[in-house]
Amino acid sequence: MPYRAAVTDYLFMIDTLLDADALRQTTRFEEATADVTAAILEEAGKLCDEVLAPLQRNGDLHPARLENGVVRTSPGFADGFKAIAEGGWIGMGADPEYGGMGLPMILTSAVNEMMSGACISLQLAPLMSQGQIEALEHHGSDAIKELYLPKLISGEWTGTMNLTEPQAGSDVGALKSKAVDNGDGTYAISGQKIYISWGDHDVAENICHLVLARLPGAPEGTKGISLFLVPKFIPNADGTVGARNGVSTVSLEHKLGLHGSPTAVMQYDNATGWLVGPEQGGMAAMFTMMNNARLGVGGQGVGVAEAAYQHALSYALDRKQGRAGADGTGSIADHADVRRMLVEMKADVFAARAIGLSCAYALDMANATGDASWRARAALLTPIAKAFGTDTGCSVAHTGVQVHGGMGVIEETAAAQFGRDVRVTTIYEGTNGIQAMDLVARKMMDGGEAAGLLLDEMEEDIERARPDFPNMADACWQACESMREATEWLVAQDDMNNRFAGAVPFLRAFARVLGAQLHLKAAMADKGGPREKLARFYILRMLPEHAGLLTHAQAGEADLFAVTTDALAS
């Protein structure tokens, strides 16, 4: 069964789980009607199914390579990127003043997720550009916007972000790259950056790097960092590419997966750059791009999970073994444990997708209304969407190999590629542990107010379902109350290690409970149908996991650190 973008699922979620009418009633998004939404998603689905999905194996079998200083991408990738660019998909959410469509993030997120399922290695290129576009829209000077945004939006140029250095990974403040004022409005940037996705390639005529560096005399740590735009080729005044800048590709990383995505070690030798935002305001500007990317990476996890599920389902339906089962097919899909795996995969994909779209919706409502409560909702959901989306990608890909049995570890089936490709998503744009720590620390600085308001709304929805589905509603309501109690315990902890020790299980529990409420809402819209049956499975079999997770989340740090490093090494 070839990959098929889950267009029906996106339309159902946007029209049923989210209040799309409220979004369409805002001035900003009034043109994103139901008809427009359907047309966009259906057209994107065709692109993914017919153009991008056939490139998936090419990227794995014929990786990007560096030859004599030139990066050559996988066969077909240049044409695939051209199709994405010419379709206008890069600038879906960008400002129409510079050539964008100005569409809501829910549509951008849905299309990005489809593309990730079709070919995640290629989808990384437009995703990086989208993040840079948003950063420049918020923090770039008028001159930078006028020159760079039309090129990035059209796909003539692509964007990257350069944070990590050999000695500075998650601790970005330890970076050593430096910037010197040239006195003419430009800066000389020097240093080395690693793990730069699509840092060099042959699919577009210019590559624009957002680079974090430190000016002379700036304080140590993150407060002293500035952000610079450093193009591979210095643009001429008319927007054409000019002289080669002092930017070079040292090497491409040999990776576990994502072989079609060139991950570069970049060297800057007095490269010409332009300041983005104020001096020493680099982290604030870069976080605009990173938060965009975190939601996008969560969608990458869900997209790969969808593809891995479809791949496993196709194999399970075709593989005949044993007697005819409940459905009389004789396929391994009739075996109880294989059926369990397939249903768990499908149920988790639905939950993770719905959480990601809920986060995108909150961003849209915040941008359309300026309401601070919507911005707080989006901030709360971002680490959950990123971590749970990518964890789901890894777990579903892992289960997909199991469904294949011995054939799962044979490369010809391509089942293992999903797991190799998606594995890094739990690491880049902030590891999932960092996402969890962000959730229990920064996102709880309001004393848990945003979390409490979300739980209130969830319980209101659950109560509406109680007359039709009393058992499922009761399970969801009790889980919300347990989540509320755990949140109250969390915000009462002054010792941050008590929070951090259980941060990951706390985030996963929150995702489990959110997923259950969203499944229940889907059941209400599909009484007696397949969505109700899927919701029942998730709520009665998978939701109970939250109880053990919350016990872990509230255990504190004492017994964790009682196991000393000496004990670990003994």
Q: Give the active site residues.
A: 429
Residues 402, 39: Cα–Cα separation, whole Å: 37
Q: Cα dist. 259→83, 147, 415 in Å?
A: 21, 32, 15
Cα angle 394, 396, 400 (rounded to 5 degrees) comes to: 115
* Phi, then psi, of 156 in degrees rounded to 5: -65, -35
Cβ contact 192:177 at 8 Å: yes
Q: Which CB contacts under 8 angstroms, 24+ apart, belong to 521-526?
A: 521/16, 521/17, 521/461, 521/465, 522/12, 522/16, 522/17, 522/350, 522/354, 523/465, 523/469, 523/472, 524/464, 524/465, 524/468, 524/469, 525/12, 525/16
Cα angle 393, 395, 399 (rounded to 5 degrees) comes to: 115
Cβ contact 417:541 at 8 Å: no
Instruction: Burial-class residue 142 by CB neighbours within 10 Å (0-12, 13-18, 19+).
Output: exposed
Residues 479, 445: Cα–Cα separation, whole Å: 23
Cβ contact 469:539 at 8 Å: no
Cβ contact 91:149 at 8 Å: no
β-strand pairing of 178-181 with 187-197: antiparallel
Q: Minimal CA–CA distance to 384: which of 456, 440, 334, 323?
A: 440
Strand, coil or helix: what is 31?
coil
The structure tokens listed for 209 are 């790097």
Residues 244, 238: Cα–Cα separation, whole Å: 16
User: What single-letter DSSP state applies at residue 473?
Assistant: H
Q: 212: part of which helix (H) or strand (E)? A: strand 206-214
